[in-house]
Structure 1
């Protein structure tokens, strides 16, 4: 019995421990940068929102990096579980998409000319950038590579274009001081940096000239990390609208990616929590509204993580779905443990059961002896022995050595014994003393 109880408690404890470890919050390291970027602020807001949820399965631990390239390297080296990466950079081989954080567009424009100041031939097409100076907003090399892709599509040798990069904080002043003939910015359509740069390009009421990337579809075909896109009319505000008409361009995305070997269950839980609280962050971080589900197509540029795909497709497994096999095998083991425990307990009580069977046979023999007895003292001794047999039998029943049916049979035998003793005592009490003595002597010597 103790072994069976111990086994049962062990299995129940194992199942309870498994449930606890399966449902306890998991802390995920997420690489994001650079400092003071919108991406970092969004991740910090997500971290606080996840921590505020009472039943949150996922906790986030931001790891600040120098930028998307460094974040990708942290994921590739196993220093992070999640990362915010730029889709047109080298994507780590162990990275799989979880969500699209935001989409960015490439904006190429030429500032309006200043009154009274001579300038070179007016630039209205990308092909006219050869021999000109192009300012790129942002220090990342990825923006320069983006410009080169565009120039090559239009047959412009990048080596014949002078490219100068300006920090985001200095871009507006550089534009006002005419540090470049044309400018490139890459970011969300409503990016504050891009809007301020274009506002600085407006002079004397004249809007800048936006250079359309009409070959966007061809670029997307040759470079799968890019997509054909449009900048809506008036996207950058101002009067007149900037731009006055829709401008064709290319876009790329910032992705939340996870390590390929990260648990499917963990990634599904993260994705579920991410989209559950997304709307709660929109008031403080409008960029949160741009978070989208990943591309689940098999030919997607960044393959989707199975956990994220399960959430998107509505195939996320419940606790019972994930652990039903373990629970079933646990119940089978519990049943087997109970059977083994019952057999072992029965085996240990075999001697006690055999001893009780011997006592029951002795009681049956005493019934016959009581009916032949000629001595009240002998009957009293047998009565005392029967009381001892009764005690042992009740102990066996309490210990489980005998079943209720065996106890019933014993009660019948004990009742017959009591009747035999009572009848024999009544008979002996009616006989004269001398006759009792003669009968006892006869039984002792075999003669009368």
Structure 2
């Protein structure tokens, strides 16, 4: 028998896979957070396709929107794409937006605006032109007597275009001047038939509404000139009152000579105007609308050569009492308060970094908790080494010393593994090295002593020590 526990009592070796599993978990967590941030950046910066409702078919508005769609597809405009959704009229476009079938729409400001619509830009301003053709030869000068709107009672008035909105507009003007719309015969002419109808003298007066340089309006006025006579333009002197009673309209003027050749009109004529707006669905991302507005005004000048109407695009009214409330994204662009990527997502980034820091702290605590058993095992092994140190000084067998030496080598290997795993620090490792050195010295001294003693003395000493322990 020998002093102290034998090799069979050696504590089990600490598991070495725990640290690896923890490292893998930590790496996976860090990669997950980085992947989440990268995915968030990708989805935040990827191009967004917006559907824009526009009508009627073959109108200038559709041509402008199609040109904008092509311009938005260029590489330098990578945040927003446009997909036109063709409708039958501006009213249908408004309904398409209200039904959620489009994110953007081109609407007339004097029509019912959807409750979920917010202004992004003013596509164009439209003026109202009301004129009377000169009398035809041989038919007296009855038509020439119409010089005021109040004289339209009982007359035939032709409206260019098939939209009911223009008829409603005419009725607003007549009512302002005390003319009963029921006593006026209102005829509507499709755009492609208006010129022929005017040449055939289908009405006594005509109304057209469109951009100041509208070819449709200019051609209609030119068709009404006959036999060297010029049409008479009726001034809407009550434009201020109409604008006051109907906020969708504004007082305006038709500049002299702005309606084609022959210096039409000869003098400035008072009228009213209304706007076509680009509106966005309420709730559409502020950053998306800001990006669309920025791209819209960036391509505006590049399109004006092919589409002069594009140069007329204006920023929306950002006043709180605007007829159509402005979308926050468009307002941010107009006011120069558009948020950058960091402004929009700084909170998410900050919280992600905090989560990463918390995960690191939690991981460190968890790592320490997992290494608790490893540290306890190492402490037991160090105690075992001290016991073997004591036993080595009294051992009478070189075989026993060799077994303890082999066990000490195993304890050394496990201790170095614990140090690599971070289970023990430099201080405990230094204390272990001191104990190991003392153990090696004790083994060496004891072996030298045993080798110097005769075999019979060694056997006697062993027997004596065995009898004493018994």
TM range (shorter): over 0.9
- The question of 1:168 aligning with 2:194 is answered no
**Distance between the aligned counterparts of 2:361 and 2:353, measured in 1?**
12
- The question of 1:157 aligning with 2:180 is answered yes
Aligned to 1:38: 60
**Distance between the aligned counterparts of 1:300 and 1:244, measured in 2?**
34
What SS class does the counterpart of residue 170 from structure 1 fall into? Answer: helix
**Distance between the aligned counterparts of 1:79 and 1:141, measured in 2?**
23
2:277 aligns with one of 255, 271, 275: 255
Aligned to 2:170: 147
- The question of 1:25 aligning with 2:47 is answered yes
**Distance between the aligned counterparts of 1:167 and 1:131, measured in 2?**
23
Q: Which piece of structure 1 moves more, 251-260 or 194-203?
A: 194-203
- The question of 1:197 aligning with 2:197 is answered no
Aligned to 2:406: 384
- The question of 1:291 aligning with 2:313 is answered yes
**Distance between the aligned counterparts of 1:69 and 1:359, measured in 2?**
87
Question: Considering only aligned residues, what root-mean-square deviation do their CA atoms show, in Å?
Answer: 2.1
Aligned to 1:232: 255
2:243 aligns with one of 206, 220, 226: 220
Aligned to 1:77: 99
- The question of 1:303 aligning with 2:325 is answered yes
Q: Is the 8 A contact 1:234 1:245 kept in 2?
A: yes
**Distance between the aligned counterparts of 2:464 and 2:339, measured in 1?**
91
Q: CA offset at residue 403 of structure 1?
A: 3.0
- The question of 1:425 aligning with 2:452 is answered no
Unaligned regions of 5+ residues in structure 2, if any?
1-21
**Distance between the aligned counterparts of 1:70 and 1:237, measured in 2?**
32
**Distance between the aligned counterparts of 2:115 and 2:437, measured in 1?**
87
**Distance between the aligned counterparts of 2:160 and 2:399, measured in 1?**
120
**Distance between the aligned counterparts of 2:232 and 2:378, measured in 1?**
108
- The question of 1:93 aligning with 2:128 is answered no
Q: Is the 8 A contact 1:25 1:56 kept in 2?
A: yes
Aligned to 1:184: 207
Aligned to 2:5: none
Q: Which piece of structure 1 moves more, 299-308 or 342-351?
A: 342-351
Aligned to 1:118: 140
Q: Is the 8 A contact 2:48 2:288 kept in 1?
A: yes
- The question of 1:343 aligning with 2:365 is answered yes
**Distance between the aligned counterparts of 1:69 and 1:99, measured in 2?**
18
Q: Which piece of structure 1 moves more, 278-287 or 390-399?
A: 390-399
Q: Is the 8 A contact 2:77 2:295 kept in 1?
A: no
2:296 aligns with one of 262, 271, 274: 274
Q: CA offset at residue 66 of structure 1?
A: 0.5
Aligned to 1:135: 158
TM-score with structure 1 length normalisation?
0.93
1:318 aligns with one of 318, 340, 347: 340
